Structure 1
Amino acid sequence: MSIKVIIMDVDGTLTNTNKVITPLTKQTLLKAEEQGAILILASGRPTSGLLDIAKELEMHKHHGLLVSYNGSKVIDCETMETLFNQALSVEEGKAVLEHMKKFDKVRPMIDKGEYMYVNNVYDNMIMFNGAPFDVIQYESRGGKFKLCEIDDLAEFVDFELNKILTTSDPEYLQSHYEEMMEPFRDKLSCMFTGPFYFEFTAPGIDKAKALDTVLIPMGYKKEEMIAFGDGHNDASMVNYAGIGVAMANAVQDLKDIADEVTLSNDEDGIAVTLEKYMN
């Protein structure tokens, strides 16, 4: 089988627990590029949070693509041209942010340019795995954003948003996400992207739609694609690609629909699987 497109989620898939690409996985991906395959990073991260990884994998030399904001935007690594962009309208963004005010433990985060906007930079701690976790620092540093406080985000927003990210203790989100998404259930894409992340994007947006919109006109076929993921938001692309692979550390729902399950992100799962399919 000829694999021409390698699609990877980032956190929990391409990067290990320490948020780095292990040497074997990096070596395998660089080799795949030299053999003519293109790499695609498909992540909930903002575009700015993918650039360093793309550079490390030399994707700018091999026509690699960045699918960011959970599929809301696609960038060509070589030209930095936007190939696809479907954002929330100003009205949709305002409606979501207004509704989030009803949930006192939910912290919305939005970004524009070099800034990430939050209500309170000091209201930054959630409980994760039994320990305090500075989620605002984690998200802002990961996206390379400066932080800015805005008292009323719904009133502030007069621009389109590629996504609205909300965070809280995982238990709180599990208890309240149905109510959080209820007004938008049939109007927007609403989903968990991690235990402490629940996101809102434009209607119909997911990673598979972004891939289909860009790759098919380029002449690629689904049968030539392999996709790796670990989270609920990876389900669409794992279903979409000719070979859909779940990491050993993936959520069970993803394992259930994947064509195969590989080793974990700490055990070079991507590299091990690619060795089977690449010459």
Structure 2
Amino acid sequence: MIKAILLDIDGTLTNDRKEITPKTREALLAAQEQGVRLMLASGRPAGGLRCYAEELDMYRNHGVFICYNGAQVMDCATGETYFSRPMGAADVRAVLDHMKGFDVWPVLYHGDYIYTTDVFGCALGRDFVPDPYYNIIEYEARSNNYLLCEKGDLAAFADFETSKILVAGEPTYLQAHHEQMAAPFSGKLSSMFTAPFFFEFTARGIDKANAIMCAFERLGIGLRDAMAFGDAQNDTSMLELVGCGVAMGNAVEQTKAVANEVTLSNNEDGIALSLSRHIPGLERFGA
């Protein structure tokens, strides 16, 4: 019996226009009516999840936020924190210093702001995003309700803990250099792709699976009683962990390889289709 549904956001819950499609929304609302708990598991902070939680009525149904790739877990209705493990200030400075040797745009989260070295230079061309010269740092700020601020030397500025460091860049460049970027922190920090143009650092051992185990222990939910949906590299750990891990049709091959099943894409109501197959009473959403 399915008691929890874990949902990545970008490329999974939302379509390519960053919207929850009506059929997927109705299927998830119907699942909650049967007592299933929704959990949004994303690289985003809580501020970037609230609009989707409202749309899915998660506040009334005590949904859960798994933020920053698992560095923070909280009850979305009460704001109670179940788990939090930020990166220490020394690690933050070390990563930011190392990133100076690469052609990337590091992003630091603190308070109401995200900080970077150049808020105007972070534009990708048509090959990687729907609109030409799309500013991916502006997108990160606006979609997560942050203000933007520039700092000439992020490493000198960073004297505080943070849940993650986002490193943005051209996808081809990140693919060619991410191993060098991560190498000095092997065994000390976790790092992963969350989008073709985003590579992220978190505290050691942080991933979505670790956060899910913490949440499930708190809520008394068994791993076999959960479904998880994802599309990216940072979703593989949670798809492997639960009883039914579902990769979206648009998922990367690494994610599809570990999934129990592959559904339709995020633009084709793939979540609704899988729910219709696994939760009695939701069969109508498979039509």
Q: TM-score, normalised by structure 2?
A: 0.94
Instruction: Trace 1:39-58 onto structure 2 (pairs within 5 A).
Output: 39-58=38-57
Aligned to 1:255: 256
Structure-1 residue corresponding to 2:182 = 181
**1:128 & 1:229 partners in 2: Cα distance?**
25
Deviation, 1:128, is 5.3
Q: What secondary structure does 2:9 align onto?
A: coil
Tell me which residue corresponds to 1:59: 58
Q: Check conservation: 1:128, 1:170, Cα contact below 8 A.
A: no
- Check conservation: 1:8, 1:42, Cα contact below 8 A: yes
Indicate conservation of the 8 Å contact 2:120/2:135, yes or no. no
Shift of residue 24 of structure 1?
0.6
How far, CA to CA, are the matches of 1:4 and 1:214 in structure 2?
13
- Trace 1:90-169 onto structure 2 (pairs within 5 A): 90-103=89-102, 105-127=103-125, 129=127, 131-169=132-170
Letter in 1 for 2:167: T
Counterparts of 1:122 and 1:272, CA distance in 2: 41
Could you give the per-residue CA deviations for residues 175-221 of structure 1, whole angstroms, max 9, x where no partner exists?
Answer: 11111001001111011111001000000000000000121232110
Per-residue Cα deviation, 1:238-267 (whole angstroms, up to 9, x for no partner): 001100000000001111110000000001
Q: In 1, Cα distance between the equivalents of 2:13 and 2:30? A: 16
| 1:171 aligned counterpart, secondary structure | helix
1:126 and 1:16 map into 2 onto residues whose CA distance is: 20
Q: How many angstroms apart in 1 are the aligned matches of 2:55 and 2:137? A: 25
Using the TM superposition, name which of 8-17 and 117-126 deviates more.
117-126
- How much does 1:169 deviate? 0.5
1:160 alignment partner AA: E
Confirm or deny that 1:222 pairs with 2:220. no
The count of corresponding residues between Structure 1 and Structure 2 is: 277
**Counterpart Cα distance in 2 of 1:180 and 1:128:** 25
- Residue 165 of structure 1 deviates from its aligned partner by 0.1
Q: Which runs of 4+ in 1 moved over 3 A?
A: none
Structure 2: any 5+ residue segments left out of the alignment? 281-287
- 1:60-79 alignment to 2 at 5 Å? 60-79=59-78
CA distance in 1, matches of 2:38, 2:159: 35
How far apart in 2 are the matches of 1:133 and 1:9? 23
Contact 1:95–1:154 (Cα < 8 Å) also in 2: yes
In structure 2, the residue corresponding to 1:6 is in which secondary structure? strand
> How far, CA to CA, are the matches of 2:228 and 2:268 in structure 1?
17
State the SS of the aligned residue for 2:125. strand
TM-score, normalised to structure 1, is 0.97
Q: What amino acid is aligned across from residue 110 of structure 1 in structure 2?
A: L
1:9 and 2:8 correspond: yes
SS at match of 1:178: helix
Kept after mapping to 2: 8 A contact 1:173/1:196 = yes
SS in 1 for 2:92: helix
SS at match of 2:175: helix
How large is the Cα RMSD of the aligned pairs?
1.0
- AA aligned to 1:119 is T
